[in-house]
Amino acid sequence: MTAQSIVRRLAAGLITVGILASAAGTALAATPDPTLPPAWPIDTALTYRWTANAVPPSAIKTAVNAAAADSNASRRSRAPSYAYSSTAANGVSYGTANPCGVNGLACFSRDPVNRYWHLWFRENGHRYDWGTLLWCEMSGSPNGCYRAETITLDELGHVAGLDHHDNLPDDSDYADAVVQTYSHARPFVGWNASAFGRCDVATLQQVYDVASWTTLYSTCLDIPTTLAISASTTAVVSGGSVTFTATLRSAGTGRLVGNPMTGRVVVLQFRSGTTWLDLVTIPGTTTAGTYRVSYRPVYAQEYRAIFRKPASEGVRTSVSPGVTVRITCSPIKCPLAASGGKQP
């Protein structure tokens, strides 16, 4: 094994009370977790079994299985999925024989090249020089216990390729990540997280792509988008039908380049003098990232599509270029030709 990425978990006996020091009110933004390369191939299914002679107690088994489900449900990406299998090559160990370091509660090893990974958990009641380790699931959940399900989710995040979140100086973004250098004990913020935080998800999406074209981009990201528009014709008789087709894509980096974005709100606008007014929401089609609507213009007009940044998603507003539709004369409304013309 070449993997040597065992990360020590430091026990958090103290936490800093967050005080927003910025008098200017400058909002600092949370950032996606750093990565722990290399990545697994996208959509990798990782299985685990209990290590012989280091089998966790049932409460820890339950917590590990719950964390695997938490990871699968909250990754919002094509990051590895986790499942128990009695025939798995990789193990989960519990007890005194572990490489977790002097202050570690749990630790991991990963080697995507050789498809190897492993988790270790220290035993309930382990004595550190700062105190005694209590797993909440085994101890009746007193203050100061660590929740094995949440700690497992941190470790599974590492196995997938996440490094510890860089918190803001005041720790105000602690809840944005489960993958933390200092795990919090009960009852401090984040002690009982059952889902990846938005900045864990952000990195999983950057490394492994979004789960599907309808998956929302983590709000810990700030991904530009592009919007194109085309018209079925740029000259119609008054009241004739024009079909507008808009295509929305992400314009990020890595795996987030050029993804079609399905299920978003794209609006057709028309120009009114120097401003643009909303005309109609353009329905999505069965083609990923494509939206289409028919409209019957009466006047010559310039149109464009707009996608507005939703509060629920870490992507930017985009507008398409304009497309002008001219009105041609109809047989009925056509003026007579200047000399000798006849209307039919």
Q: Which residues bind Zn ion (CB under 5 A)?
A: 154
Cβ 178 to Zn ion, closest distance in Å? 9
| Minimum distance from residue 108 beta carbon to Zn ion (Å) | 8
Give every CB contact of residue 77 below 8 A, 6+ residues apart in sequence: 201, 204, 205, 207, 208, 209, 210, 211, 215
**Comparison of 150 and 219: residue with beta carbon closer to Zn ion:** 150
Nearer to Zn ion, 33 or 137 (CB): 33
Nearer residue to Zn ion within complex by CB, 70 or 154? 154
DSSP assignment of 208-262 equals: H-BSSTTSPPPTT--B-EEEEEEES-SEEETT--EEEEEEEEEE-SGGGEEEE--
Q: How far is the CB of 87 from Zn ion (least distance, A)?
A: 28
Residue whose CB is less far from Zn ion, 137 or 154: 154
* Minimum CB–partner distance for residue 41 and Zn ion (Å): 23
Which CB sits closer to Zn ion, 33 or 154? 154
Cα–Cα distance for residue pair 193/7, rounded to 1 Å: 20
**8 A C-beta contact, residue 221 and residue 203:** no
* Closest-CA residue to 158 (of 196, 128, 190, 193): 196
CB 90 within 8 A of CB 47: yes
Q: How many residues does the chain have?
A: 344
| 186 contacts 143 by C-beta, under 8 angstroms | yes
Find the shortest distance in angstroms from Cβ 204 to Zn ion. Answer: 15
- Residue position matching structure tokens 């020091």: 21
Q: Which is nearer to Zn ion, 154 or 209 (CB)?
A: 154
Q: Which residue's CB is nearer to Zn ion, number 76 or number 164?
A: 164
Residue number with the smallest Cβ distance to Zn ion: 154
Query: Which two tokens mark 27?
Result: 């909002």
Closest distance to Zn ion from the beta carbon of 197 (Å): 13
Residue 21, φ and ψ in degrees, nearest 5: -85, -15
Phi, psi of 236 (to 5 degrees): -130, 160
Separation of alpha carbons 57 and 132, rounded Å: 18
Q: Between residues 107 and 246, which has the closer beta carbon with respect to Zn ion?
A: 107
Closest separation in Å from C-beta 180 to Zn ion: 6
In what helix (H) or strand (E) does residue 60 lie, and over which residues does it extend?
A: helix 58-74
Q: Write down the least CB distance from residue 158 to Zn ion, Å.
A: 6
CB of 7 to Zn ion, least distance (A): 5
Q: Which residues contact 163 (CB under 8 A, 6 or more apart)?
A: 7, 33, 34, 35, 36, 179
Nearer to Zn ion, 188 or 276 (CB): 188
Q: What angle do CA 169, 175, 178 make, to 5 degrees?
A: 105
